[in-house]
Amino acid sequence: MPTTTPTTTPDLRARTGPALGALLGALVCAVALALAAGTASAAQTVATAEADQGAMDGITARPIADTAASGGFAVKFDWAGADRLTTVLPADADAITLRTRGDQCAGAPAYTLTVDGRPFASDSVASTAWTDRTYAATLLAGRHTVEVRFTNDHTEPWPNACDRNLYLDAVTFSSDAAPVPSVPAVPSGFVHQSGTQLLDGAGRPLRLRGVNTGGWLMWEGWIWGQQFDYTGESAMMGNLAAVVGQPAADQFRADVRNTYITGDDFRAMSAYGLNVARVPINYRLLEDDSQPFTYKQSGWDALDRAVAAARQNSVYLVLDLHAAPCSQVYGFTSDYVGPQFLWSTPSCRDRTVALWRAIAARYADQNIIAGYDVLNETMIGDAQLLDLYRRITTAIRQVDPNHTLIYEGNNLARTFDVLPAPLDANEMLSFHDYSWMVQGQDLTARMPAYDAAARRLNAPLWVGEFGQGSYDDVQRYVSTFDNDPLVAGWADWTWKQSAGFPALHTIQHTPASQKLVDWMNNSSRPQPAPAEAAQGMSDFLAAIRFTSTQPDARLREVLRPTGVTPAAVGIDPRRRSPRRPPRPAPRSRRRPAGRRRRPRRPPPRRRPPRRRRPPRRRRPPRRRRPPRRRRPPRRRRPPRRRRPPRRRRPPRRRRGRRPQRRGRPRRRRPPSGRPPPAAGAERPGAAVVRRRPRPAPGGPPRGPGPGRRTPPAPRARCRARSRGPGAPRRGPRSP
């Protein structure tokens, strides 16, 4: 049976109606956990839920006293009654057993069994005595829901009065598998522990020196933005979706996961001499809160790409659950959004255990993975943390006996009092140390406590996080860790970031991407317009590529390790592709029988080397003339001052043409300089023109004659005025 997905419902009445009974009200859980501790041949009881009188609500499936029942009580199903049980299995189960009996009335009572919301079995109860009915199943450790529904209620009237009912005593989950040993054998080909030493797959001492990949599969605001932007991934996504919409925000997150860390980054890590990458993971990469216990293929694809790139470049991986379901600490480092909390919600702890089991089952045979970092930086009571550590260890070892389990100390991975004894035979202790976490203390003063825990638990130490300080601080940390024989390596935080403390690669923002990231980290900052946000997303995806980041050569030299053992997985770290076997030598050709061997020709006589002509003496370069002194530019003459335009005199008004007398030809004036012709000197044949004599000066004015008129007075005045003062006034012109 494939793995099923439970559907948890707080109230059965809200789902099935009052006629179907109570949610976990008719069947009460007195869950007796019996972990597999017997022999391999006997069935192991994983969990048992028995009827009890404590939580009955008496709707339809009601408790009744029954001395024959195992607990003295049973659950009675009346007309179409139903009951649901939700329980947590600490280990895998391969069988479900129902203890039932029935009141017979014209037939046996029937029921349906549903597991995790899916129909599982249908059966009837033909016995009035308590009978066990077992059904084969494959249930993984974790939270599961079992529902029993009475389907054929029937009554008969008098005289054959009877009532058909169903009774349920207990539900038992069992397993026939042999118990998993708590101390697995040392795996072959995998990184493993040997006392306080860490060994590679070939059994050689190994030190894991590398970096974290924060900001890739687990977002933290300060990695992308400003130094004190303490914002979690969910809050950043909410601010982004408020501007561009949820579909565009989801696509942006997918693009970041495909771009932030690629094969180029792993290739550079290998070139820098680093041999491990710690990969922080947000549980939302694989699981949504709306669909618990259901894992997304897109998340598996991202992890598969990381495994493939790491193997190709001989870089080990450490998978780190940085943010568990419902968050293990209050803060942005575990993407806490509330109101549920890991330590106060049992279902969240069940999801955490099931998630680790799914991861271990998928990558159980990947020897490029050095180990599983179980839970990042917790702050909770030691008893609660130890209980969860034990549950996760059991779940992982059921499917993966190979990989090293890494347990962090409590109180932000600084104290190991939470571990009174080793939890596994292949384990490693991890602590985190930043200079700002312990102000005023020197690292050399804290190391004895870490070393004492390693000796007490007989396990190696590994520094999962450090850095975020000056170059001198990082140098002192690296020197201290490398000189401690109990420390099996370290991982600097982090490979790529935006600003603040030194990083091996720095993201170079554009104004658009910086404004977008600032808004994602703090919604009180200026909000970008949708077009600006789209441009900012495009610029950010281009800026986070390996080829666009700015490398820090000084930090690279500080972190450059010496004597690092490459990943012993059959890969040459100097080559980009896996090592191929040598090509077999070609077979020699056989000579047919009877054919004589052809004599070999003598090698050709080699000519003596030709005497090389001495190089031609190069002529010294010609002496260049000094540059000619340029004549200063001629001073330009200022432009002439233009005279104002001359005021034009208005044109003289021409006097109108005088009308000619009818029948009289027009008199022609002689050319200038010629005297008028004398009287009687006309040309022969010319017409004689008679002219009226002009009056003598001072005589009486000549009146108008026929066909002649006197010019108007205003025109005469104008002419008199134009001739100036004192000019004699001329009279009308005589014809």
Together in a domain, 136 and 212: no
Together in a domain, 443 and 360: yes
Domain contains 94: yes
What is the per-residue pLDDT for 614?
Answer: 83
Three-state DSSP state, 155: strand
What does the block give as tokens for 377? 């930086």
What is the per-residue pLDDT for 154?
Answer: 81
Domain contains 53: yes
Q: Is the pLDDT of residue 380 over 80?
A: yes
Alpha-carbon span 156 to 197, nearest angstrom: 77
Least Cα distance to 210 among 132, 279, 306 occurs for: 279
Burial of 384 per CB tally in 10 Å (0-12, 13-18, 19+)? middle
Which phi and psi (to 5°) does residue 94 adopt?
Answer: -120, 15
pLDDT interval class at 452 (50, 70, 90): very high
Q: Which residues pair with 114 in a beta bridge?
A: 119, 147
Least confident of 433-442, 621-630, 703-712: 703-712
Together in a domain, 344 and 272: yes
Q: Is the pLDDT of residue 732 over 60?
A: no
Q: Is the pLDDT of residue 214 over 90?
A: yes
Together in a domain, 142 and 214: no
DSSP letters, 102-153, are EE-SSS--EEEEEETTEEEEEEE---SS-EEEEEEEEE-SEEEEEEEEE---
Q: Is the pLDDT of residue 728 over 80?
A: no
Burial of 711 per CB tally in 10 Å (0-12, 13-18, 19+)? middle
What is the per-residue pLDDT for 341?
Answer: 93
Q: Is the pLDDT of residue 286 over 90?
A: yes
Paired sense of beta strands 461-467 and 487-493, if any: parallel
Paired sense of beta strands 369-373 and 404-408, if any: parallel
Tally of CA atoms within 13 A in the half-sphere of 649 that contains its CB: 4
Residue 695, CA distances (Å) to 173, 659, 668 in order: 160, 21, 22
Q: Which residues pair with 98 in a beta bridge?
A: 133, 171
What is the per-residue pLDDT for 677?
Answer: 62
Alpha-carbon span 155 to 146, nearest angstrom: 28
Together in a domain, 151 and 269: no
What does the block give as tokens for 581? 């076997």
Question: How does the average pLDDT of the chain come out, rounded?
Answer: 80
Alpha-carbon span 733 to 735, nearest angstrom: 6
Tally of CA atoms within 13 A in the half-sphere of 302 that contains its CB: 25
Alpha-carbon span 289 to 355, nearest angstrom: 13
Q: What angle do CA 335, 339, 345 make, to 5 degrees?
A: 95
Q: Are 513 and 256 in contact (CB under 8 A)?
A: no
Q: What is the DSSP letter of 19?
A: G
pLDDT interval class at 204 (50, 70, 90): very high
Domain contains 578: no
What is the per-residue pLDDT for 679?
Answer: 57
Domain contains 625: no
The 3-class secondary structure across 276-344, one letter per residue, is EEEEEEEHHHCEECCEEEEECHHHHHHHHHHHHHHHHCCCEEEEEEEECCCCCCCCHHHCCCCCCCHHH
Together in a domain, 212 and 284: yes
pLDDT interval class at 186 (50, 70, 90): low
Render pLDDT for 520-574 as a digit per residue (tens, 0 to 9): 999 999 999 999 999 999 999 999 999 999 999 999 999 987 656 556 554 443 3
What is the per-residue pLDDT for 171?
Answer: 87
Domain contains 571: no
Give the domain extent around 445: 207-218+260-501
Together in a domain, 133 and 211: no
Together in a domain, 277 and 155: no
Render pLDDT for 329-343 as a digit per residue (tens, 0 to 9): 999 999 999 899 999
What does the block give as tokens for 667? 């008199």
Domain contains 513: no
Alpha-carbon span 509 to 525, nearest angstrom: 17
* End residue of a domain, out of 468, 501, 534: 501
Contacts of 225 (CB under 8 A, 6+ apart): 231, 498, 499, 514, 517, 518, 520, 521
Together in a domain, 211 and 160: no
Q: Work out the average pLDDT over 236-243.
A: 96
Residue 532, CA distances (Å) to 79, 362, 695 in order: 63, 41, 105
* End residue of a domain, out of 445, 466, 501: 501
pLDDT interval class at 232 (50, 70, 90): very high
Three-state DSSP state, 699: coil
Q: Are 97 and 134 in contact (CB under 8 A)?
A: yes
Domain contains 102: yes
Q: Work out the average pLDDT over 149-156.
A: 82
Together in a domain, 142 and 212: no
Least confident of 9-18, 49-58, 302-311, 633-642: 9-18
Instruction: Count how many domains the chain has.
Output: 2
Q: Percentage of residues in the chain with pLDDT exceeding 70? A: 74
Q: Is the pLDDT of residue 134 over 90?
A: no
Alpha-carbon span 6 to 604, nearest angstrom: 86
Residue 317: give its domain's CATH number: 3.20.20.80
Pick the more confident residue, 393 or 148.
393
Residue 168: give its domain's CATH number: 2.60.120.260
Together in a domain, 148 and 214: no
Q: Work out the average pLDDT over 575-601.
A: 56
Alpha-carbon span 260 to 264, nearest angstrom: 10
Domain contains 433: yes
Alpha-carbon span 417 to 77, nearest angstrom: 51
Together in a domain, 437 and 393: yes
What does the block give as tokens for 34? 């019996």
* End residue of a domain, out of 482, 501, 520: 501
Nearest 10 degrees: Cα torsion 156, 60, 6, 170: -80
First to last CA, the chain: 141
Top-confidence range, 51-60, 237-246, 464-473: 237-246
pLDDT interval class at 603 (50, 70, 90): confident
